[in-house]
Chain A
C-alpha cells in the first residue's frame, strides 16, 4: 500500500463553519480516509503538527497565538490552503479593524450591560490581540485559496480529489462564490 496523504487542519480566527462544511462531505469521508489520514486537527488529539502534505487553514489572524500556529503549519505542511473568506481576507471578524481595540474590549468587559467586576482580562496565559484582524497570506506563503463563507462541501471535495489524483486543483465557476 502506498503512503497515505497526511492532512492537518486548524481553526484560527474563524467560526468553525469551514470545518463544518468539510464534514458536509458526509459519507465521502470514508473515501477520503481510505487515502488520507489526519494529523493535527480539531477532530483528533494530536496537539502539534507533524510533517504533512496538506494544511487546511480556517480563519484569519486575530491574536499572536494564531500567528504562532500558522507558522507552525507553514513549517510542517508542503501545501498550505486558505479555506474560506476569513483566512482569505479576514471576513466578518475584520469588521473590528476600523475600531480601536481598546474600545472593543471595553464594550465587552467594562461598559456592557449587567457587568460586575469590570476589567479588561489580562493574564500571561491570554495571547496578545492584534490591533487588526489579518488575512493569512500577509504572514506566510499560501499555495491555494478556497473561496466562500464557507466554501461548499462540493468545492472542498473537488479541491481534495483533484489534488489526490495529481491534477492541478481547479474549481468550476458555480463553486466559486461567497454565499
Chain B
C-alpha cells in the first residue's frame, strides 16, 4: 500500500510541513509531511507524543484503587477504563459472574458512555467537515459554526451527549470520573427516582439517534464515490463478539476477520489475548503498533472501533439498529465495508443501538435490584477487556500477596488503529496533496481522515526543531527549576 511513505530516503534534503496540533480530536497529536522540491510527498507520519507512564506508576498501588486511578487516562471514555479495570479486579477476587443487577448496571453505564462519546465525536468534532465541506472556512469549521448555521442539528448533538452523561451520573455520581465498579460488583443501586428521571427524555433520544443515522447516510450518499474512496484502505478487523455472533460492547470472545471477511480467529477467550496480539515499537511515536501474531508485523495490523464492530458482527439484537446495519452493509457488496469515512455511519448505528439498549435496560426490573456484590477466592492475575467507544480495550494486571499491583499492560483502543490511521493519511496525501501547493483546505483533508477514527490522543506535542534537544524550566520569577538535555541515545540528562 503506502508503506514506502513511512520512511523517506535522505530526509534532510526534504521540506517539512507539519499539522500541529491536529485539531478537533480528543487530545493532541501532529502530522509531519516531507516533500521534495516538486512538492511530491516522500514521507507522512502521525506522531503521538503522549507518554504518561501509567503502566509503571500504578505498580505499587493496591489493586482496588485501579478503577478510579486508571480512568484518569481518559476523560472522554473514563467509564470504559473504569469498567475494563473493574472486570480485571473481579478476576483478582475470584468472581467470574456478577449478580444480574450488578451486570446490568454496568451495561447501562457503558451504553451511556458509548452514546455520549459517539455524540460528542460526530456532532462536536466531525460534523463541521461533513456539513460545511472539507475546505470550508477554517474559522467557522467547528461546533459553534454548526450551532449557528444548523441549530437544530447542533442542539440535538448537545442533548444526546447530555443524556449519555446523565445516565453515567445517575449510576456513578459524577459525569466524569465517578465511581461504580468495585471488586465483584457495583457500589450503589439505581433508585426508582433516578430510573424514572432517565425515562423522561428517552423517546426523544431514540428519535434523535434515528435522525442521526439518516443524516450521516444522506451526507455519505450525496457523494458516494468521493466518500467511498476518501482515505480508503483495506484491513482486517478485530473486536469482541457475543456467543451468538451479535454486536457486543461489554463482554464476549475475541473475533478477527481478514480484509475479505474471512475469520482469522473467533470466540477466543480474551484472557489469551497475548497469544494473538503483539505490539511493535517504532522510534518516532510513543504509540505502539499492535498486530495479529499469525499475520506478522508487516501485514498483521487491523482496525477496531465502530466500523470493525459492525463489519464483524452477524447481527444487532435491537430492531432499529439491525435494520440500519443491513442497509449499511449493502455498501460492502457482500464483504466488509472498508471505507474510512464509513466509520461515522457505523458510529451512529451504534448510537442508535445504545439508545435502544438503554430503553430495554431501564424497563428491566433487575436494574433497580439491590443485590450488587459477590465474593470469591483471591487470585493474582486479572485481565479485563471491553469495547470502548473507539474499540477493543485491554487491561491486564498482576498483584502480589499484599494486594499490590506488580505488573500492568494496557492496550488502549486508539493504539490498535495506529497503523490504519497512518495508512489512511498516506493515501490522502498521495491522492490529494502530491505535487500540489499545500493549502489549509488540503491539509484539513489529512485531519478529516484522522478524525474518522475518532482517535483519543491525550497530551501535547509540538515541533522541536533539530537535535540536540535542551530545555530550561524557568519559573514565573525567572528562576531555573530544571535543565534537561537529550543525548543521541534518547536518554535524558539533568
Q: Which residues of A contact B (CB under 8 A)?
A: 10-21, 23-24, 26-27, 29-30, 33, 37-38, 42-47, 59, 61-69, 91-93, 95-96, 99, 101-105, 107-109, 112-132, 134, 137-141, 149-150, 152-153, 179
The CA-CA distance from A109 to B282 in the complex, in Å, is: 9
> Which residue from chain A places its CB closest to the CB of B476 in the assembled complex?
A141
A119 nearest CB across to chain B (Å)? 5
- Who on chain A is nearest to B116 by CB? A20
Q: Once bound together, how far apart are the Cα atoms of A108 and B47, in whole Å?
A: 17
A149 to B40, CA, bound (A): 46
Residues of B within 8 A of A120 (CB): 490
Q: Which residues of B contact A (CB under 8 A)?
A: 20-21, 23-28, 30, 32, 45, 47, 49, 51-53, 55-59, 69, 72-76, 78, 120, 124-125, 138-139, 141-144, 147, 155, 158-159, 161-162, 165, 174-177, 274, 277-286, 288, 297, 396, 407, 409, 444, 456, 458-467, 469-471, 473-476, 481-482, 484, 486, 489-492, 494
Q: State in angstroms the CA–CA spacing of A124 and B86 once bound together.
A: 38
Q: How far is the CB of A148 from chain B (nearest CB, A)?
A: 9
The 8 A-B pairs with the shortest beta carbon distances in the complex, nearest first, are A17-B75, A122-B490, A104-B53, A123-B284, A107-B56, A65-B462, A16-B75, A92-B72
Q: Nearest-CB distance from B432 to chain A (Å)?
A: 17
A129 and B52 alpha carbons, distance in the complex (Å): 10
CA distance A139 to B475 in the complex (A): 4
Contact A127-B49, Cβ < 8 Å, known A21-B176, A99-B57 = yes
Are the C-beta atoms of A15 and B74 separated by less than 8 Å? yes
Whether B461 pairs with A127 at a CB distance below 8 angstroms is yes
Write out the residue numbers on chain B whose beta carbons fall within 8 Å of the beta carbon of A140. 476
B486/A43 in contact, CB under 8 A: no
A101 vs chain B, min Cβ distance (A): 6
**Which residues from chain B contact A139 at a C-beta distance below 8 Å?**
473-476, 481
10 contacts between A and B (CB under 8 A): A16-B27, A46-B138, A93-B72, A99-B57, A107-B59, A115-B280, A122-B489, A125-B47, A127-B460, A150-B75
Residues of B with C-beta under 8 A to A17: 72, 74-76, 78, 176-177
Q: A16-B74, A121-B490 are in contact. List 9 more A-B contacts (CB 8 A).
A: A29-B147, A30-B147, A42-B24, A44-B139, A69-B462, A122-B486, A124-B466, A128-B484, A138-B473
- Closest chain A residue to B284, Cβ basis: A123
Q: In the docked arrangement, what's the CA distance between A131 and B483, Å? A: 10
A19 to B23, CA, bound (A): 14
- Tell me if B297 and A27 are in contact (CB < 8 A): no
B161:A23 contact, CB within 8 angstroms = yes
CA distance A18 to B461 in the complex (A): 19
Supposing A16-B458, A101-B492, A126-B286 touch, asked if A150 and B176 sit within 8 A by C-beta, the answer is: yes
